[in-house]
């Protein structure tokens, strides 16, 4: 009889349920009534926050994917015929479109882009067929806008909008003459006889599928991931390109927590997420499964064999072969910021569990411009919006290197917090944007008068930027140093600056103290000019580079020379005023030492060889000098910006303590301005200068 047990035979024991993951779950506990209520409140909050798209937009996405799929199929057929293959092969020629990223995982929101992968046959290559022929086809379609090829990226991609929906399109050429319509991308054989770029292109789809297989409850995973991605964006730690964590990183971290608490609901998973990762001992890796080592010969993440892997600070390993560290971009500075935000999330979740806070407290935005007193600003200017899209993408992809170089050259004492948001002045019509990096001294380090000259660091960064193969005239860049009170008002969410509360001593040390650039790192631009008979300054020698960041006139420091109002209505004067308005100067602290050094020339070179520039040193004051100026520090200002310019340098030198004047710039567009003029001024600094 079924289910009966025979005499003399041991009673069979039911085998325990197997769970995915490298380790068994930490808890199998299910939700309480309070957990279910908090989950309902969380889901309601996410809906009200607008994180779910409507049915109409979902249908539009499906239509767009269908149209793009048809375009790539026709593209492959045309190439098959053009390359002289038999008519039978032309009939069977095919390309298959896959999705990955947030869309594949089911956590995309309104306006999100769609990550797509086109898989084609072996005779259709990436270099010519994809980035030239398909690019030309897409460029000729009215529904395609903002078409941007990025062939030199770590994962080569075509970026564009199709009917207003952002698309990132990758391409993988497999060792097959025909791609079946029901092709299974998860099988290991797809990696046979392909190059590294193709492996990376395929990995996105393979990783997304593996994640969904390895989580115990896909719906709970999706809700939790949607919540944590929104939280990361609000707290300024969502950006792989600038050294934080991107979509796949957050997905892998959330998936690991789902494995550790397989029966938990989203409210529990969010709380456990912060509890786990505030205690995680980095660089111990986060893995959803054991690392697979196939015989295909591709390199996998293995710090025992690969010296480079040993330097990774926050390894989050992808589950599909070849297993890679998806978070290799994380630096010492960005890891510090991420961990600080994890601590914040853990604190708020503890309060939510005790009914002392609600979910809105968790998603309070991080007030970046209130957290630091000094910043590096990377201003980007181009001839038009299309050029800006290309130029900005290149510069943004290299910002992480600037952070790493500053960490390297200051031995980790000066820490950078690159903020993953771009800003543009609505009052300026030319194509421009700016990125900000908060500067702080490493906590606990106190060394009076220690200086770091990052002039060479920024110059090295500029040389790398200048290697851009698609550079065009009008593509310009400036790196400047500004204080909080010089930050323009338009970067703030409500368009105005909030009053900064008094910092406690230990908060001040955690902020930045004086561990930033010295006072004379400021942007002091001058050029030789002639004056007309009435004493007005006239245009003469062209200077190409200018900063776009424009400090708010109402919040300029109270000390030092004032800057006259620009007398030209041109938007270009607003651009140049951003450099000039930082030129107030007084003594900062007694321990600030000055000396003078020249700035190296731009890698692009220049016809105007009379120009030169300046860069200052990082001065670290001791704690006593900081605490003695807690109340006056906001009021006392120095010359705060240095512009490191390419391809033409600017002039900076000491002179009388006054502004010689401001010239009127009669220019109708930004590109013309950048070839013609910047504001001229003379600045006096007592003592020796550090430039």
Burial of 308 (0-12, 13-18, 19+ CB in 10 A): exposed
Is 289 among the domain residues? yes
Q: How confident is the model at residue 448 (pLDDT cuts 50, 70, 90)?
A: low
DSSP string for residues in 396-464? HHHHHHHHHHHHHHTTTSEEEEE-S--B--TT--SEEEEEEEEEEEPTT---TTEEEE-HHHHHHHHHH
Mean pLDDT of the region 476-501: 77
What's phi and psi for 397, nearest 5 deg?
A: -70, -15
Residues 247 and 327 in one domain: yes
d(CA 332, CA 312): 10
Choosing from 35, 168, 309, 520, the catalytic residue is 168
The reply to whether 421 and 288 lie within a common domain is no
Q: In 3D, which of 326, 319, 321, 325 has the Cα closest to residue 294?
A: 321
> Is the same domain home to 221 and 306?
yes
Q: What's the domain range around 228?
A: 215-362
183 with 244, same domain: the answer is no
238 is catalytic: yes
Residue 220 and residue 197 share a domain: no
**What is the per-residue pLDDT for 490?**
87
- pLDDT at position 445: 66
Residue 267 within any structural domain of the chain: yes
The tokens of 182 are what? 């029901």
Q: Binning pLDDT at 50, 70 and 90, where does residue 186 land? A: confident
| 642 domain residue, yes or no | no
Q: Is the pLDDT of residue 615 over 80?
A: no
User: Are 670 and 430 in contact, with CB atoms under 8 Å apart?
Assistant: yes
356 lies in the same domain as 279: yes
Instruction: Give the whole-angstrom CA distance, residue 631 versus residue 166.
Output: 48
| 460 in any annotated domain | yes
CATH of the domain at 280: 1.10.1410.10
Q: Do 175 and 271 sit in the same domain of this protein?
A: no
Last residue of a domain, one of 313, 339, 362: 362
Q: Tell me, yes or no, whether 146 lies in a domain.
A: yes
- Look at the chain and report how many structural domains it folds into: 3
From 55-69, 77-91, 653-667, the region with the lowest mean pLDDT = 653-667
Mean pLDDT for 11-36 is 76
Same domain for 450 and 376: yes
Catalytic residue among 102, 271, 602, 606: 102
Secondary structure letter of residue 134 according to DSSP: I
Q: Which helix (H) or strand (E) holds 38?
A: helix 33-48
What tokens does 663 get?
């010239």
Residue 534 confidence (pLDDT): 40
pLDDT (0 to 100) of residue 395: 93
- For 114-150, the pLDDT digits (tens) are 999 999 999 999 999 999 999 999 999 999 999 988 8
The pLDDT value recorded for residue 17 is 56
Q: Which of 208, 234, 262 is the last residue of a domain?
A: 208
What is the reported pLDDT for 162?
97
Q: Is the pLDDT of residue 500 over 60?
A: no
The answer to the question of residue 521 being in a domain is no
Q: Name which of 310-319, 464-473, 545-554 the model is least confident about.
A: 545-554
Residue 634 has pLDDT above 90, yes or no: no
115 catalytically annotated: yes
From 208, 236, 259, the end of a domain falls on: 208
| Annotated catalytic residue, options 171, 230, 238, 419 | 238
Domain assignment present for residue 629? The answer is no
Q: What is the pLDDT of residues 212-256, one digit of tens each?
A: 999 999 999 999 999 999 999 999 999 998 999 999 999 999 999
The verdict on 283 and 374 lying in the same domain is no
CA-based radius of gyration for the chain: 28
Stretch 388-397: mean pLDDT: 90
Mean pLDDT calculated for residue range 646-660? 30
With 0-12 CB in 10 A as exposed, 13-18 as middle and 19+ as buried, what is 625?
middle
The count of C-alpha atoms lying within 13 angstroms of the C-alpha of 515, restricted to the half-sphere facing its C-beta, is: 28
Residue pointed to by tokens 């003695």:
628
Residue 357 has pLDDT above 70, yes or no: yes
Q: Are residues 340 and 357 in the same domain?
A: yes
Give the CATH number, domain containing residue 168: 3.30.460.10
Do 300 and 321 meet the contact criterion of CB atoms below 8 Å apart?
yes
Mean pLDDT for the chain overall:
74
End-to-end CA distance of the chain: 92
Q: What confidence score (pLDDT) does residue 545 get?
A: 35
Residue 374 phi/psi, 5-degree rounding, is: -140, 150
171: left (phi over 0), alpha (psi -120 to 50) or beta: beta
The answer to whether 242 touches 418, Cβ cutoff 8 Å, is yes
The torsion defined by the Cα of 567, 573, 576 and 581, in degrees rounded to 10, comes to: 40
Annotated catalytic residue 423: no
- Cα separation, 89 vs 71, in Å, equals 18
Do you know the residue count of the chain?
Answer: 691
Catalytic residue among 19, 60, 103, 113: 113
Question: 506 versus 265: which is more confidently predicted?
Answer: 265
pLDDT above 90: residue 336: yes
The catalytic position among 35, 73, 115, 374 is 115
State whether 172 and 223 are in the same domain.
no
Across 371-403, b (16+ Cβ under 10 Å) vs e yields: bbbbbbbbbbbbbeeebbebbbbbbbbbbbebb
Residue 340 lies in a domain: yes
Active site residue 113: yes
Determine the Cα–Cα distance for residues 120 and 174; give it in Å rounded to an integer: 6
And the tokens for 110?
A: 């309104």
In the predicted structure, residue 317 carries a pLDDT above the cut 90: yes
Q: Are residues 219 and 355 in the same domain?
A: yes
Q: Which residue has better confidence, 680 or 507?
A: 507
| 19: annotated active-site residue | no
Could you tell me the pLDDT band of residue 293, with boundaries at 50, 70 and 90? Answer: confident
Q: What is the CATH number of the domain that holds 391?
A: 3.30.70.590
The residue to which tokens 């006056």 are assigned: 632
Active-site residue 102, yes or no?
yes
């Amino acid at each position: 009889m079924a289910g009966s047990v025979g005499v003399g035979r041991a009673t069979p024991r039911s085998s325990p349920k197997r769970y995915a993951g490298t380790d068994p779950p930490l808890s199998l506990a299910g939700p309480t009534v309070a957990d279910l209520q908090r989950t309902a409140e969380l889901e309601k909050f996410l809906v009200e926050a607008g994180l779910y798209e409507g049915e109409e937009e979902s249908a539009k996405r499906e239509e767009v994917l269908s149209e793009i799929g048809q375009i790539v199929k026709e593209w492959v057929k045309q190439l098959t015929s053009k390359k002289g293959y038999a008519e039978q092969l032309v009939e069977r020629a095919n390309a298959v479109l896959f999705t990955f990223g947030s869309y594949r995982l089911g956590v995309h929101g309104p306006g999100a882009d769609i990550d797509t992968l086109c898989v084609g046959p072996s005779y259709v290559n990436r270099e010519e067929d994809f980035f030239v022929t398909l690019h030309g086809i897409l460029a000729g379609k009215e529904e395609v806008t903002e078409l941007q090829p990025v062939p030199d990226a770590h994962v080569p991609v075509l970026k564009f909008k199709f009917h207003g929906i952002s698309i990132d399109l990758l391409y993988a050429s497999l060792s097959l003459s025909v791609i079946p319509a029901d092709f299974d991308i998860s099988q290991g054989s797809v990696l046979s006889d392909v190059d590294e770029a193709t492996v990376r292109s395929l990995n996105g789809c393979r990783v997304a599928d593996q994640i969904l297989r390895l989580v115990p409850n896909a719906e709970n995973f999706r809700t939790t991931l949607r919540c944590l991605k929104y939280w990361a964006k609000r707290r300024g730690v969502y950006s792989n390109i600038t050294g934080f964590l991107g979509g796949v990183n957050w997905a892998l971290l959330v998936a690991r927590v789902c494995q550790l608490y397989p029966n938990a609901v989203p409210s529990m998973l969010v709380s456990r997420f912060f509890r786990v990762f505030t205690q995680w001992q980095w660089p111990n890796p986060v893995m959803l499964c054991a690392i697979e080592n196939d015989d295909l010969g591709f390199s996998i993440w293995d710090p025992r064999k690969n010296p480079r892997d040993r330097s990774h600070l926050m390894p989050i390993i992808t589950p599909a072969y070849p297993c890679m560290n998806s978070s290799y971009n994380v630096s010492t500075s960005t890891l510090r910021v991420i961990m600080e935000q994890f601590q914040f999330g853990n604190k708020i979740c503890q309060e939510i569990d005790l009914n002392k806070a609600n979910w809105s407290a968790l998603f309070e935005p991080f007030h970046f411009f209130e957290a630091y007193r000094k910043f590096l600003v990377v201003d980007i200017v181009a001839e038009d919006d299309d050029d800006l899209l290309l130029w900005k993408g290149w510069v943004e992809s290299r910002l992480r290197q600037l952070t790493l170089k500053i960490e390297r050259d200051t031995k980790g004492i000066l820490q950078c917090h690159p903020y993953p948001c771009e800003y543009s002045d609505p009052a300026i019509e030319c194509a421009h944007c700016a990125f900000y990096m908060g500067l702080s001294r490493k906590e606990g380090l106190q060394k009076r008068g220690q200086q770091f000259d990052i002039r060479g660091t920024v110059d090295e960064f500029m040389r790398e930027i200048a290697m851009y193969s698609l550079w065009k005239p009008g593509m310009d860049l400036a790196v400047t140093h500004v204080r909080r009170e010089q930050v323009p008002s338009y970067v703030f969410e409500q368009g105005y600056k909030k009053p900064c509360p008094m910092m406690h001593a230990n908060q001040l040390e955690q902020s930045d103290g004086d561990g930033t650039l010295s006072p004379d790192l400021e942007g002091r631009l001058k050029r030789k000019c002639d004056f007309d008979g009435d004493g007005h300054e006239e245009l003469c020698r062209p200077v190409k580079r200018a900063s776009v960041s424009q400090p708010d006139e109402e919040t300029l420091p109270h000390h030092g020379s004032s800057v006259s109002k620009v007398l030209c209505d041109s938007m270009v004067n607003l651009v140049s005023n951003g450099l000039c308005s930082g030129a107030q100067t007084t003594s900062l602290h007694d321990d600030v030492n000055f000396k003078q050094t020249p700035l190296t020339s731009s890698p692009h070179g220049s016809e105007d060889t009379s120009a030169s520039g300046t860069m200052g040193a990082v001065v670290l004051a001791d704690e006593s000098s900081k605490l003695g100026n807690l109340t006056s520090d906001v009021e006392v200002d120095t010359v705060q910006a240095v512009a490191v310019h390419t391809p033409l340098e600017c002039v900076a030198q000491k002179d009388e303590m006054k502004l010689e004047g401001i010239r009127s710039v009669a220019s109708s567009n930004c590109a013309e301005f950048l070839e013609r003029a910047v504001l001229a001024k003379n600045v006096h600094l007592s003592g020796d200068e550090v430039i």
